[in-house]
Amino acid sequence: MPEFKYEITKRIAVLSESANGWQRQLNLVSWNDREPKYDIRDWAPDGNKMGKGISLSRDEMAVLRELMDDLRLDGTENDEPEA
């Protein structure tokens, strides 16, 4: 497996923590010296191991934020879909 570099450039929030201490975090992460992206994934208590996650560009995060503003968390549909 090829090696990769990462640097957490900004810790934004802990979203949840499991019983074994792993935390699901939202951070800004630079992967292989590239521009940092918003990143959601699980991290081990010591921060040396990570689980699978998702990285989003600033534009993707803006779209997600807009969608989240309109999202109903009770599982029902919002207003009628746009045409």
Q: Is the pLDDT of residue 81 over 60?
A: no
DSSP 34: P
User: For the segment 40-55, what is each residue's pLDDT rounded down to a tens digit?
Assistant: 999 999 989 999 999 9
Rounded distance between C-alpha atoms, residue 42 and residue 53, angstroms = 7
* Percent of the chain whose pLDDT exceeds 90: 73
Return the structure tokens found at 56: 């989003």
Contacts of 78 (CB under 8 A, 6+ apart): 70, 71, 72
Q: Is the separation of the CB atoms in 38 and 26 below 8 Å?
A: yes
Task: Say what the pLDDT of residue 32 is.
Answer: 95
* Overall size of the chain counted in residues: 83
Cβ–Cβ contacts within 10 Å for residue 43, how many? 20
Task: Say what the pLDDT of residue 3 is.
Answer: 84
